[in-house]
Amino acid sequence: MFFLKDVILIIVNKLNFSEEISNLLASLIVVILWIAIGIISIYIVRQILYKVFKIKDRGPRSLTIGKLISSISKYAIWFIIFMIIFSELEIDITPFIASAGVIGLAIGFGAQSIVKDFISGFFIIFEESFNVGDVIEIDSFKGTVLDLGFRTTKLKNWKGDVNIVRNGDINSLINFSKAESTAIIDFGISYNIDLNVFKTKMEVFIESIKDKYLVVIEPPKFVGITKLDDSSINMRIIAKTNPNEQYQVERDIRSDLVLYFKEHDIEIPFPQLVIHNE
């Protein structure tokens, strides 16, 4: 069988080094070349997977599967590369394989949690519990999924904190990206206001904003009175939005409300304490 090392050795021998140095130099060049081939192969496979899955066009599911296959292919390529290097260097790997089997069996008994992580990761990925880019909450930590692997999941919250969660520890979660969200806008008005007149004004307000926000998938709805508080009659507006867009919509509608109330002289009450003298 003709090996790459034989070709390199022929070239190196022309440099008139001793046999030992020539063999060492040829072996070193072989290792470097195959490692370079491994790096290039991983890059090419990653680019091919990116184009095949068209990650940007197909969304988070393709991104998740693409990253997973890319990760698996990386380990497979390195395994093949090192097997080729051992073969080129004429190293008998049979003892290593036998030893690895014994060590693997011993580790297996003490690595049940790792096995649990991998099994959980498998079901999370193929049951599509969540994907890369989804906003989820695990154990009170809410964030965007940065990476989803067989063993761990990485989340990043709005403050920039990154939480690495073992998949085997995920007993329950909330996925905020699976369905539409609801924007809830609570506000208060004065007890002095005429509710019938106010209802008419709110109908006009809702009509003015119903087409204002592209992320709102159903027209906003004025629910009405939700609570009779100490200093105000509390009201509520709700709106269905695209997943995770509700918070910005809430802020925007509150801003619209303040401007509308000022324009129509609608009082926004503040806490008051009424004392009666007897």
Which domain CATH number covers 213? Answer: 3.30.70.100
Task: Classify 20 as helix, strand or coil.
Answer: helix
Task: Report if residue 22 sits inside a domain.
Answer: yes
- Tell whether 193 and 211 lie within a shared domain: yes
Report, in angstroms and rounded to the nearest whole number, the Rg of the chain calculated over CA atoms.
32
- Tell whether 149 and 206 lie within a shared domain: no
Can you name the residues that pair with 188 across neighbouring β-strands? 234
- Tell whether 198 and 171 lie within a shared domain: no
Name the DSSP letter for residue 181: E
Distances (CA, A) of 170 to 123, 152, 155: 11, 10, 13
CA pair distance 244, 179, nearest whole angstrom: 9
Q: What is the mean pLDDT of the chain?
A: 80
CA pair distance 135, 181, nearest whole angstrom: 12
For the chain, how many residues are written? 278
Provide the terminal-to-terminal Cα distance of the chain, rounded to the nearest Å: 111
Widest CA span in the chain = 116
CA pair distance 225, 81, nearest whole angstrom: 69
pLDDT of residue 82: 83
- Tell whether 33 and 77 lie within a shared domain: yes
Q: What is the mean pLDDT of residues 202-219?
A: 90
| Confidence band for 1, pLDDT divided at 50, 70 and 90 | very low
Q: Which amino acid is at 42?
A: I
Domain count, the chain: 3
235 or 58: which carries more pLDDT confidence?
A: 235
Task: Report if residue 118 sits inside a domain.
Answer: no
Can you name the residues that pair with 162 across neighbouring β-strands? 156
- pLDDT tens digit string along 151-187? 888 999 988 999 999 888 888 888 888 888 899 999 9
pLDDT of residue 2: 43
- Tell whether 194 and 145 lie within a shared domain: no
For the chain, give the percent of residues with pLDDT over 70: 76
CA pair distance 247, 118, nearest whole angstrom: 35
Most confident of 50-59, 120-129, 182-191: 182-191
| Confidence band for 148, pLDDT divided at 50, 70 and 90 | confident
Task: Report if residue 52 sits inside a domain.
Answer: yes
Task: Report if residue 259 sits inside a domain.
Answer: yes
Residue 141's CATH number:
2.30.30.60
How many beta carbons lie within 10 A of that of residue 15, not counting itself? 9
CA pair distance 144, 155, nearest whole angstrom: 5
Give the residue from 91, 111, 139 where a domain finishes. Answer: 91
How many beta carbons lie within 10 A of that of residue 148, not counting itself? 25
Give the residue from 91, 122, 157 where a domain finishes. Answer: 91
Name the DSSP letter for residue 130: -
pLDDT of residue 156: 92
Task: Report if residue 102 sits inside a domain.
Answer: no
| Confidence band for 252, pLDDT divided at 50, 70 and 90 | very high
- Tell whether 165 and 187 lie within a shared domain: no
How many beta carbons lie within 10 A of that of residue 133, not counting itself? 15
Task: Report if residue 277 sits inside a domain.
Answer: no
Note down the domain range covering 15: 4-91
| Confidence band for 84, pLDDT divided at 50, 70 and 90 | confident
CA pair distance 213, 183, nearest whole angstrom: 12
Task: Report if residue 108 sits inside a domain.
Answer: no
Tell how strand 174-175 and strand 135-138 pair up. antiparallel
- Tell whether 158 and 225 lie within a shared domain: no
203 or 30: which carries more pLDDT confidence?
A: 203
Task: Report if residue 272 sits inside a domain.
Answer: no
pLDDT of residue 253: 94
